[in-house]
Amino acid sequence: MSNISGNNVREAINKYMLADGMDPVIDLEKSHGVWLVDSRDGREYLDLFSMFASMPVGYNHPYVLENKKRFTSAALNKPTNSDVYSVEMAEFVNTMGRVAQPNYLPYAFYVEGGALGVENALKTAFDWKVRKNIDSGNGEKGSKVIHFKECFHGRTGYTMSLTDSPDPRKTMYYPQFDWPRIDNPKIHYPLDDKSLQNVINLENQAIDQIKSSLHDNPNDIASLIIEPIQGEGGDNHFRCEFFKELRSLANENDFLLIYDEVQTGVGITGEMWAHQLFTTKYFDCECESADTRPDIISFGKKTQVCGIFAGDRLDEVEGHVFKESSRLNSTWGGNLV
């Protein structure tokens, strides 16, 4: 048994790694619902943090506790789900397909880590674009990604070339690709006539920048990635008309439209995925759901497993990553727990 108590947790961790986390020491057994219990003194805190928006049903939900035996074998054994299948994995994939996976995004890939979900969305787009260029006689081009200021897409390989965090420590001194970064036409509230005209002007400016990037990088833009709502960048919202324009640009210029739904997905906006809000059902606009649909979404956090869903636009090329074995893979292929 461990002789570590809540009062010496920080000391024990700091002996071997940087212990600069938040002050409370969570009691994993006593925390409940939206309340985080501090194991040092039993104090309860209303958790508006929810572990970086990754808690789907709070702490120790009664239904989860009632079914905790189902987690035992999954927790004790961690198979390489990409290559060794199980009934538990089949049940999970079936449930995700039935509950969370849109019918217009029929391809799925699972991995551990939201940034790795984004990475594999980019790899899917790179593969697709290069194959398109080869088929068209344009050579092996298709290595750049259009993205937006104040975005956050992760802190790994490719994603560090995208992330524009207000905290420079997250990306500084790490090698990055020089990919096109676009001004983000975020809404300023209240959205009165003056504010509306301002955001329309910003949208037009952003669209002009995208078109310039396409002109300056012929046949080399594989994708455009955007968060439906920018989180770390400042809770930045965009008009559905802007997403409609992005959809049109993707169709007209042969790049894939990626929505990073790692933070905005799984019901937090009232729909399973935030991009499903961009319709006349929710906004005074002329957008129908098909007008704003992505080619790929990345997901994570509240799903408790990460990955991507992708659409049938990939079928415009032969042998894309969902058809050719091992183009996308990882050791665990997500996790059963």
CATH number reported for the structural domain that contains residue 274 in this entry: 3.40.640.10
CA pair distance 325, 313, nearest whole angstrom: 19
Q: Is the pLDDT of residue 113 over 80?
A: yes
Task: Let me know whether 187 and 145 are in one domain.
Answer: yes
Nearby residues of 130 by Cβ (< 8 Å), 6 or more positions away: 140, 141, 142, 143, 222
CATH number reported for the structural domain that contains residue 31 in this entry: 3.90.1150.10
Model confidence, pTM = 0.94
Q: Is residue 13 part of a domain?
A: yes
Query: Where in the sequence is the domain holding 45, given as residue range(s)?
Result: 6-67
Predicted pLDDT at 237: 95
Summarised one tens digit per residue, pLDDT across range 49-68 is 999 989 999 999 999 999 88
Q: Find the mean pLDDT for residues 261-287.
A: 89
Nearby residues of 296 by Cβ (< 8 Å), 6 or more positions away: 105, 121, 124, 125, 223, 256, 257, 258, 259, 308, 309, 310, 311
Q: Is residue 295 part of a domain?
A: yes
Summarised one tens digit per residue, pLDDT across range 163-202 is 999 899 999 899 999 999 999 999 999 989 999 999 999 9
Q: Is the pLDDT of residue 6 over 90?
A: no
- Number of structural domains (the chain) is 2
Q: Is residue 110 part of a domain?
A: yes
Task: Report the mean per-residue pLDDT for the chain.
Answer: 93
Q: Is the pLDDT of residue 289 over 80?
A: no
Q: Is residue 19 part of a domain?
A: yes
Predicted pLDDT at 288: 80
